[in-house]
Amino acid sequence: MDFIQKQRVSGAQGASGDYVTVVQRACDKVTGFRELCQELARSISINGKSQSALTNYSRQLAHLALHYGVIPLELEPDQVMDYLHLVKSQGNLSQSFFNFTVHGMRYACKMRGLDYSRFALPTIKSPRKLPVVLNGSEMKALLTACNLLKHRIMNGLLYGCGLRTSELQQLKTTDIDLERGMVHVRQGKGSKDRYLPLGKMLCRGLKRYILEEVPVDYLFVNRSGEAYSRAGG
C-alpha cells in the first residue's frame, strides 16, 4: 500500500467511507499531483525524513494545488505569494499551516532540481525560547503527584535523561542496563543512537518497576500489550 492509498484508508470516516483526504482529492482532480506526491514519498523515504514530514508537505501542497487547479511547481511566483498572503490573513489557520506550505514548496523544488528562490518563498524563522527547567522541589512535587509507579518512572526518564516522548515510547527492556546505570536510546532524533546515565534513584525505581510489572518487550505498554502511546494508552 503506497502513501496515497494510506491517505485514503486513514481518511475514511463512517460506514459509507465517503470521506476523502485533501491529498486524495488533489490526486483525483489535479493533473500530475499524484505523480508529484509519489515522487515526494520516494524522496522523503530515501533521504531518511520522517513520515510526518511527508504527511505535512503533501497535505499543504495539496491545498495549494486544489486552490489553483494545477500542481504547485507550475504556478507563477505571484500566484504562490498571493496564496501565502491568503493563508497568512486567515486567522483560523495555524502558523504551522503557513510554515509547512513554504517548507513543502522548498522540498518539492529541490527534489525536481528547481530554484525555489524564483517563487520568492519567505524565510521561516524559528522562535528561540529558553526551556522551562524545574527545580528540585518542583520535580519532586511532579513525581509524587503520580499515583502509579509507571508514571513516576516515565516522568523520571523524561526529565532526568532528557528523553523525547517518542523515544520513551520506543524503549525496550533490553535498553535498560541497571548494572551500569545506563539507558540505550535507539534511533532518536536524527536517527542516532546514544547512551544516557540513569542515576541511582532512577535505577532503584526502574528495578522495582521491572520486578512488579515484568515488561517483556517494550518497557511501557498499554492494556493491549503494545507500546505506550502519547494519549496514555
- Annotated domain spans of the chain: 3-119, 136-213
Task: Categorize the per-residue pLDDT at 12 as very low, low, confident or very high, splitting at 50, 70 and 90.
Answer: very low
Mean pLDDT of the chain: 83
Q: Who wins on pLDDT, 115 or 32?
A: 32
Task: Categorize the per-residue pLDDT at 126 as very low, low, confident or very high, splitting at 50, 70 and 90.
Answer: low
Q: Which fold has domain 136-213?
A: hpI Integrase; Chain A (1.10.443)
Q: Which fold has domain 3-119?
A: DNA polymerase; domain 1 (1.10.150)
Lowest mean pLDDT among 5-14, 62-71, 102-111: 5-14
Q: Is the pLDDT of residue 56 over 70?
A: yes
Contact 56, 21 (CB under 8 A): no
Q: Is the pLDDT of residue 3 over 90?
A: no
- Residues 196-222 have pLDDT tens digits of 999 888 899 999 999 998 888 888 888
Length of the chain equals 233
Tell me, what's the pLDDT at 177? Answer: 92
Tell me, what's the pLDDT at 13? Answer: 40
Beta-bridge partners for 177: 182
Q: To the nearest whole percent, how much of the chain has pLDDT over 90?
A: 36
Task: Categorize the per-residue pLDDT at 14 as very low, low, confident or very high, splitting at 50, 70 and 90.
Answer: very low
Task: Categorize the per-residue pLDDT at 71 as very low, low, confident or very high, splitting at 50, 70 and 90.
Answer: very high
Tell me, what's the pLDDT at 206? Answer: 92
- Residues 151-204 have pLDDT tens digits of 889 888 888 888 888 888 889 999 999 999 999 988 766 667 889 999 888 899
Tell me, what's the pLDDT at 117? Answer: 83
Tell me, what's the pLDDT at 16? Answer: 37
